Structure 1
Amino acid sequence: MKSNYVISCCSTADLAEDHFKKCDIAYIYFHYELDGKEYADDLGKSVSFSDFYEAMRNGAETKTSQVNAMEFENYFEDFLRQGKDILHVCFSSGLSGVVNSANIAKEVLQEKYPERKIYIVDSLGASSGYGLIMDKLSELRETGMDIEALYAWVEQHKLEMHHWFFSTDLSFYVKGGRISKTSGFVGGILGICPLLNMDSGGHLVPRKKYKGKKKVIEAIVECMEKHAVDGTSYADKCYISQSDCYEDASKVAKLVESKFPNLKGKVEINNVGTTVGSHTGPGTVALFFWGDARND
């Protein structure tokens, strides 16, 4: 169904390019540096995900930068010139200031195009959880929902998207200052895997530590059993994203599929993109599903 508005997000929603196209979701690139060379976070086209994470394992330095206001202005204006309204959902304000850049561009463009509507949403989400929100918006648009109703829906329901993460490689958490060198060293020796989730402010928060991958894989699926809509009768989509650890992600997916027989399709496994991955490093698995409202 053709609509008179665009749904849009940042590349940090971590869906594959063909998924964005199939769902008619527009997106704008973040940026990252790999050993001083700048690239667009272009869904693994400039640098493949496997090459990117291998470079990180070999000590490459990474740095990220958000979309600036001028980039948003140019990006949005292409749609406005076509007579389209815009609903843009931003990467979490708990992890980036990109929503501020989008709002600055909105203010400039609304003076220039007073007849057009521009809605900016802080997703309070990241990676393919943010992507799963966009997927839902695409589905709702296909039912004929107008832009005002869709904006109200996402603001009401965005905190019902659960984000649970675990990491099997603590070295990048040490490097980023998220855990101490001592904790990282001891955790590495003992095979400690921290389990984190995203709170209501869109921040990543450590929740518990598990010894060994088997236990943390069981624990992350137990979180879904506890929080998913209708528990193990959950009948919506479930996404996973992974940073060069597909085997671990596949184990989570198989366990989810065995415990949730009414899933809407198979669990979809995506890549943690180069922006988010610059901070997590390789070895991270994230599980996303619709559930009860996130709280702290």
Structure 2
Amino acid sequence: MGSFDVIIDSVSDMPLELRQEYSIDYFANEYYTGDKRYTASLDWDQMSAHDFYESMRNGVRYKTTQVPEKTMTEKLRQHLSANRDVIYIACSSALSASIKTAYEVRDTLKAEFPDRKVICIDSLICGMAQSMIAIECAKMSEQGKSVEECGEWVEDNKFFYNQCNTFETLSYLKEAGKITASSAFFGNLFAVKPIIISDTKGQNLAVTKVKGRKSSYTEIADRVSKFIVSPEKQTIWLGHADCFFDADELEMELKKKIPSANIKKYVVGSIIGASAGPGTLVVNYFGRSKTEQMI
């Protein structure tokens, strides 16, 4: 057992085997359609990933929520009751209000657990890049570092965790309010694929556009190879929204550009998937600072 506990949320997309290996817990977000509400389990307990994305292909649209206050309070109380300090690596505040709720819950529980420390970090990113930060926190815990030291490290290093995305269609982003209707129409009509990164504000930033799905694989591979740092010492996490063949093609492009790459694939979770839609591809890696990529 390490010196403190690490908690993430559903937006992190962290697979079970990693959560078990690093003893990382998570706060569950929720998603819903009509009067049907689901817990955004990282293990797809209530609906399989394929069924989720297939329902979207068939016209179902899901809305998402931040982590409910009750859920967060109960989970955090469990850890504090065990005399554990906690660091919460939250999804970008530009995409979710969970970090704001965490601040409020932390302050409320302070009177109940005055000797315990809770640090809430706005990762300014989401998905497996968020999880990569959490894994480093878990390693620091095992090394006996304090939760305060870990919090300082995250604030100093979080901009080095990068994400690069492309989408099968822009319509889901448009419906989720992430892109204008005219831009979505133009993109779908002319097969324009925007390449999107997470910027220093934790927002989705389109850095370029290419024509055609396969061209987006080449562009992403070029971009990742340009900005990645020490690829032989890290795992590149390649996420896909129920598009296994496309993920395989992108993996091949990445290996052409980065022969030493250790690439692992995973399925994009329900919270990101609800806004991005089936066919989404995302590459998460450690690299040069986001500040360099926005110039």
Q: Alpha-carbon deviations, 1:183-223, whole Å to 9, x = none?
A: 43443233221110110010011121111122111111111
**Which residue does the alignment assign to 1:21?**
20
Distance verdict in 2 for CA 1:55–1:154, change over 3 Å = same
Q: Are the aligned partners of 1:13 and 1:126 in contact in 2 as well (CA < 8 Å)?
A: yes
Question: How far apart are the structure 2 equivalents of 1:151 and 1:178?
Answer: 30
Distance verdict in 2 for CA 1:190–1:99, change over 3 Å = same
Q: Are the aligned partners of 1:228 and 1:234 in contact in 2 as well (CA < 8 Å)?
A: no
List runs of 5+ in structure 2 lacking aligned partners.
none
Distance verdict in 2 for CA 1:294–1:287, change over 3 Å = same
Q: Are the aligned partners of 1:15 and 1:271 in contact in 2 as well (CA < 8 Å)?
A: no
Question: How far apart are the structure 2 equivalents of 1:116 and 1:183?
Answer: 49
Aligned-residue offset at 1:180: 4.0
Give yes or no for the alignment of 1:280 onto 2:285.
no
Question: How far apart are the structure 2 equivalents of 1:94 and 1:8?
Answer: 19
**Which residue does the alignment assign to 1:11?**
10
Aligned-residue offset at 1:182: 4.2
**Which residue does the alignment assign to 2:29?**
30
Aligned-residue offset at 1:34: 2.9
Question: How far apart are the structure 2 equivalents of 1:201 and 1:227?
Answer: 19
Which stretch has the larger CA shift, 71-80 or 180-189?
A: 180-189
Question: How far apart are the structure 1 equivalents of 2:111 and 2:254?
Answer: 49
Aligned-residue offset at 1:169: 1.6
One-letter identity of the residue aligned with 2:121: V
Question: How far apart are the structure 1 equivalents of 2:35 and 2:194?
Answer: 30
SS for the counterpart of 1:240 is strand
Question: How far apart are the structure 2 equivalents of 1:206 and 1:134?
Answer: 26
Q: Are the aligned partners of 2:3 and 2:142 in contact in 1 as well (CA < 8 Å)?
A: no
**Identity between Structure 1 and Structure 2 (%):** 25
Tell me which of 250, 259, 262 is aligned to 1:261.
Answer: 259
Q: Are the aligned partners of 1:35 and 1:60 in contact in 2 as well (CA < 8 Å)?
A: no
One-letter identity of the residue aligned with 1:102: A
Which stretch has the larger CA shift, 245-254 or 179-188?
A: 179-188
SS for the counterpart of 1:200 is coil
One-letter identity of the residue aligned with 2:241: S
Question: How far apart are the structure 2 equivalents of 1:16 and 1:91?
Answer: 16
- TM-score, normalised by the number of residues in structure 2: 0.93
Aligned-residue offset at 1:178: 3.3
Distance verdict in 2 for CA 1:112–1:262, change over 3 Å = same
**Which residue does the alignment assign to 1:236?**
234
Which stretch has the larger CA shift, 72-81 or 221-230?
A: 221-230
Question: How far apart are the structure 2 equivalents of 1:262 and 1:209?
Answer: 27
Q: Are the aligned partners of 1:132 and 1:239 in contact in 2 as well (CA < 8 Å)?
A: no
**Which residue does the alignment assign to 1:70?**
70
Q: Are the aligned partners of 1:32 and 1:40 in contact in 2 as well (CA < 8 Å)?
A: yes
Give yes or no for the alignment of 1:291 onto 2:291.
no
Q: Are the aligned partners of 2:4 and 2:141 in contact in 1 as well (CA < 8 Å)?
A: no
Which stretch has the larger CA shift, 125-134 or 5-14?
A: 125-134
Question: How far apart are the structure 2 equivalents of 1:252 and 1:141?
Answer: 34
Give yes or no for the alignment of 1:52 onto 2:52.
yes
Q: Are the aligned partners of 2:162 and 2:198 in contact in 1 as well (CA < 8 Å)?
A: yes
Aligned-residue offset at 1:173: 2.3
Which stretch has the larger CA shift, 4-13 or 195-204?
A: 4-13
Question: How far apart are the structure 2 equivalents of 1:85 and 1:279?
Answer: 33
- TM-score, normalised by the number of residues in structure 1: 0.92
**Which residue does the alignment assign to 1:152?**
152
Q: Are the aligned partners of 1:200 and 1:294 in contact in 2 as well (CA < 8 Å)?
A: yes
List runs of 5+ in structure 1 lacking aligned partners.
none
